C-alpha cells in the first residue's frame, strides 16, 4: 500500500520545510514561489464572494490552475477555547454558531457526549424529536448550500427556488423551537421544548409539499445540459484518494464509499428508520452536487416515519442537577452525520462544571484537504463549480 498521493503542486512548502518561528518564515500565500515566467499567482478572496470567507491562492498557467493553496482562518472565533471557560449548559448557544443553519446537527455530538459523561438516559420521545429536528436542519442546510451553488454557477433560478422553499422548513423549526435559525434546541438530557399543538399535521403537510417541490429541481437544475457540461468530469476524486484524504459526507459518498454515520454507528433512534445512504460512483462535481439533493429526499422519508413512530406523550427532557459535572477524569468521542458529513466532538472532562478540553472535528475542515488535488488541472472558470461542490462551509472549518 503506497501512501504518497500524486501531488506535484509546485509550492515552496512541498520542497522544503518552513520554520514558523524563524525570521524567514512566510505567511500562507507568500510561500508560493514564482516557478515559471508564464505562471501567475492569483488571490481569490477573502473578500471575493466566490471563495466564501476564505482565501484561495491559485497559480494559473493561462487558463489552467497549476496549484492551489487554501488559506482559511478569516472567521476563526476560538469556539474550542471559549468552551473551556463555560459550563456544559452555557456552551450550547455559542457552539452552534459555526453553522447556524445546521445548528441541531452541530450540537448533536456535543449533547450525546455530555450525556455519556453524565450517564443520562434520554426519554424516548426526546430521541424522536431530536431526529426530526436534525433532519429538518439537514434540509435547511442543504437548501442554503444549493442556493449558493446555483448562483455561483450563474443559475439564478437555483438561487431563488431553494431560498424560497427553505422558508417552509424554517417556519417548521420556528414552530418547534421558537427561533428561526439558531435554535439551541438540543440540550443534555433531551430537547428544550415539547412540540406545539398539532405540529405533526403541519409538519407532515409541509414536508410532503417540500418533497414534491425538490423533485422539480431535477428539471431545472440537475437535468440541465449547461450544468451537466460544466460539472461532469470536473474535479474528479477517485475512491482511493477520497479514503486516503479522509474526506467525509457527500464528498466521500459521491466517490463511491458507502459511509453514513446514521447507518454505520446509529445514534439515538436512527436504527429504527428505513432509509438509504446515497452513494454515487463518479466522484466528479456533478455527483458531489447531486448526493446532498438525494439526501434531502431520504431526510423527508425519515421525518415522515418519525412522525408516525413518535410516542404520543411523555417527557422530553431529563432534569439535570445544576452545574452538571462528570464523574471523574473521562474522555468521550461522539460523531453524527451532519448536512456536510461526519461531525465529531471530543470532550475531555475532569469532573468540573466546564469541559477541560473540547474539540470539534468538523466535516468542512476534513474536506478542505481535497481542494488542492481537485483544482489542479482545472480551468479557472470551473473553480467555483469544484470548490462549492465540496459542500464546504468556511465558518465551520475555522470554528
Partner 1 sequence: MSSDSGKLAIDSKPETKPETKPETKPVVKKPEEKSVELPKFEKDISDKIVEKFGDKVEVAFVKKDRVGINVSRENVHDVAKFIRDGLNYDHVESVSGVDYPQNKEIAVVYHIGSYSDPSLASQILVLSTTAQREENPIPGHDATKLPTLRDIFYSVEFHEREIFEMFGVYFEGHPDNRRLLLPEDWADIPPLRKDFAIKGR
Q: Which residues bind partner 1 (CB under 8 A)?
A: 1, 3, 5, 11, 13-14, 17-22, 25-28, 31, 72-73, 76, 78, 80-82, 85, 243-246, 248, 252, 257, 259, 264-265, 331, 333, 335, 342, 344, 346, 348, 356-357, 359, 361, 365-366, 368-369, 398
What is the nearest approach in angstroms of partner 1 to the Cβ of residue 49? 21
CB 218 within 8 A of CB 149: no
Give whole-number Cα distances, 186 to 88, 276, 290, in Å. Answer: 12, 25, 29
Kindly tell me which of 125 and 334 has the beta carbon lying closer to partner 1. 334
The closest alpha carbon to 69, from 285, 398, 373, belongs to 373
CB 89 within 8 A of CB 107: no
CB 140 within 8 A of CB 376: no
What is the nearest approach in angstroms of partner 1 to the Cβ of residue 361? 3
What is the nearest approach in angstroms of partner 1 to the Cβ of residue 120? 17
> Residue 309: helix, strand or coil by DSSP?
helix
What is the nearest approach in angstroms of partner 1 to the Cβ of residue 243? 5
CB 68 within 8 A of CB 61: no
Kindly tell me which of 163 and 277 has the beta carbon lying closer to partner 1. 277
CB 397 within 8 A of CB 55: no
Kindly tell me which of 252 and 296 has the beta carbon lying closer to partner 1. 252
What is the nearest approach in angstroms of partner 1 to the Cβ of residue 44? 17
Kindly tell me which of 351 and 369 has the beta carbon lying closer to partner 1. 369
Kindly tell me which of 303 and 371 has the beta carbon lying closer to partner 1. 371
The closest alpha carbon to 42, from 51, 305, 158, belongs to 51
> Residue 113: helix, strand or coil by DSSP?
helix
What is the nearest approach in angstroms of partner 1 to the Cβ of residue 13? 4
Kindly tell me which of 199 and 356 has the beta carbon lying closer to partner 1. 356
CB 30 within 8 A of CB 397: no
**E strands, the chain, in order:** 39-44, 55-61, 64-71, 186-187, 190-191, 329-337, 342-350, 357-361
What is the nearest approach in angstroms of partner 1 to the Cβ of residue 122? 17
Kindly tell me which of 194 and 265 has the beta carbon lying closer to partner 1. 265
Q: How many CA atoms lie within 13 A of 183 on its CB side?
A: 30
Kindly tell me which of 209 and 329 has the beta carbon lying closer to partner 1. 329
What is the nearest approach in angstroms of partner 1 to the Cβ of residue 22? 7
- Looking up cell 438561487, which residue turns up? 159
Cα–Cα distance measured from residue 115 to residue 345, given in angstroms and rounded to the nearest whole number = 12
Cα–Cα distance measured from residue 174 to residue 166, given in angstroms and rounded to the nearest whole number = 12
What is the nearest approach in angstroms of partner 1 to the Cβ of residue 264? 4
Kindly tell me which of 200 and 282 has the beta carbon lying closer to partner 1. 282
Residues 6+ apart with CB under 8 A from 253: 259, 260, 277, 278, 279, 280, 291
Kindly tell me which of 247 and 289 has the beta carbon lying closer to partner 1. 247
- Burial of 216 (C-beta count, 10 Å sphere; 0-12/13-18/19+): exposed
Residues 6+ apart with CB under 8 A from 333: 113, 344, 345, 346, 347
What is the nearest approach in angstroms of partner 1 to the Cβ of residue 131? 19
Amino acid at each position: 500500500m503506497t501512501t504518497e498521493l500524486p501531488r506535484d503542486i509546485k509550492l515552496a512548502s512541498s520542497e522544503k520545510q518552513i520554520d514558523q518561528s524563524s525570521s524567514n518564515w512566510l505567511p500562507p500565500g507568500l510561500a508560493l514561489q514564482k516557478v515559471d515566467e508564464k505562471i501567475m499567482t492569483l488571490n481569490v478572496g477573502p473578500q471575493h464572494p466566490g471563495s466564501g470567507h476564505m482565501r484561495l491562492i491559485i497559480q494559473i498557467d493561462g487558463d489552467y490552475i497549476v496549484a492551489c493553496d487554501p488559506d482559511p482562518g478569516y472567521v476563526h472565533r476560538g469556539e474550542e477555547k471559549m468552551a473551556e471557560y463555560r459550563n456544559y449548559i452555557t456552551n450550547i448557544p455559542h457552539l452552534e454558531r459555526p453553522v447556524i443553519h445546521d445548528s441541531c446537527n452541530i450540537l448533536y455530538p456535543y449533547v450525546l457526549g455530555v450525556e455519556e459523561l453524565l450517564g443520562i438516559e434520554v426519554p424516548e420521545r426526546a430521541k424522536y424529536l431530536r431526529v426530526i429536528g436534525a433532519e429538518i436542519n439537514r434540509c435547511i442546510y442543504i437548501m442554503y448550500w444549493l442556493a449558493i451553488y446555483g448562483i455561483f454557477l450563474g443559475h439564478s433560478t437555483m438561487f431563488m427556488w431553494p431560498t424560497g422553499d427553505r422558508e417552509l422548513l424554517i417556519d417548521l423549526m420556528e414552530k418547534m423551537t421558537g427561533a428561526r435559525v439558531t435554535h439551541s434546541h438540543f440540550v443534555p438530557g433531551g430537547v428544550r421544548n415539547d412540540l406545539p399543538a398539532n405540529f405533526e399535521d403541519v409538519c407532515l403537510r409541509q414536508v410532503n409539499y417540500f418533497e414534491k417541490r425538490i423533485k422539480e429541481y431535477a428539471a431545472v437544475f440537475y437535468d440541465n445540459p449547461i450544468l451537466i457540461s460544466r460539472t461532469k468530469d470536473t474535479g474528479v476524486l477517485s475512491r482511493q484518494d477520497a479514503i486516503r484524504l479522509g474526506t467525509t459526507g457527500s464528498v466521500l459518498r459521491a466517490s463511491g464509499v458507502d459511509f453514513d454515520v446514521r447507518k454505520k454507528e446509529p445514534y439515538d433512534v436512527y436504527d429504527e428508520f428505513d432509509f438509504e445512504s446515497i452513494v454515487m460512483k463518479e466522484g466528479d462535481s456533478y455527483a458531489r452536487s447531486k448526493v446532498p439533493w438525494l439526501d434531502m429526499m431520504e431526510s423527508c422519508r425519515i421525518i415522515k416515519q418519525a412522525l408516525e413512530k413518535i410516542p404520543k406523550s411523555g417527557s422530553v427532557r431529563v432534569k439535570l442537577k445544576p452545574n452538571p459535572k462528570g464523574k471523574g477524569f473521562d474522555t468521550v468521542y461522539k460523531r453524527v452525520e451532519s448536512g456536510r458529513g461526519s461531525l465529531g466532538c471530543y470532550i475531555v472532562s475532569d469532573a468540573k462544571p466546564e469541559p477541560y478540553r473540547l474539540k470539534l472535528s468538523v466535516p468542512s475542515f476534513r474536506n478542505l484537504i481535497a481542494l488542492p488535488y481537485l483544482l489542479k488541472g482545472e480551468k479557472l472558470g470551473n473553480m467555483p463549480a469544484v470548490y462549492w461542490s465540496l459542500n464546504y462551509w468556511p465558518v465551520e472549518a475555522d470554528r
